[in-house]
Amino acid sequence: MKYKLFSRLVALLVLAVLVSLLFELPIFWRQFYPIRYKKIIVEQAAANNLDKALVAAVIKVESNFRADAVSKANARGLMQLRPRTAMEVARGLGHEINEEAFPEKLFDPEYNIILGTRYLAAMLKQFGGDETLALAAYNAGPTKLRSWLDAGTWDGTWKNRRQIPYPETRNYLDKVRQAKERYRKLYKND
């Protein structure tokens, strides 16, 4: 009787060790944190002086790599750009804009990543390279972010992100940071 109990405990311990090792294998986590459109992500991250892990994390959190994603706020594509914001970015790049057809272009993965990385880089520049502020602006909008900062609602630090009045933005910051670290760890040699 003791032997059976002991052998079951040993088997459970071995199983627990094997499961914990599985959870540490990159091949396991890459199923949950894929990088689709890797070539364009790497190219546009480099072109805009962005960390490719950050770009992949934003796409993961914004759309889970679904090029056809549309939010309640009508943000579209991989990086969830609102048509008006995307048009401003496109005009800044010197692109010709057909306002009627433009929103559909945001479902093109390459075009969406080109505009999204440019916008993310602009947010980083606008907020002095502070990634926390840039991501909050990307999610809630730079005008809303400035109103929180100016009113003292949030001090703009990662540590005090719970002061942000929008739960979606607070959660967004946490999710992007977690995904960025995962991508950095999983794809460091790619």
Q: Is 62 a catalytic residue?
A: yes
Largest separation between any pair of C-alpha atoms in the chain? 80
- Rounded CA gap, 124 and 179, in Å? 18
- Rounded CA gap, 32 and 29, in Å? 5
- Rounded CA gap, 126 and 108, in Å? 27
Give the residue from 178, 177, 135, 172 showing the smallest Cα distance to 156. 135
Supply 17's token pair: 């060790």
Angle at 87 between CA 175 and CA 92, to 5 degrees: 100
Catalytic residue among 43, 62, 88, 181: 62
**Which residues participate in catalysis according to the annotation?**
62
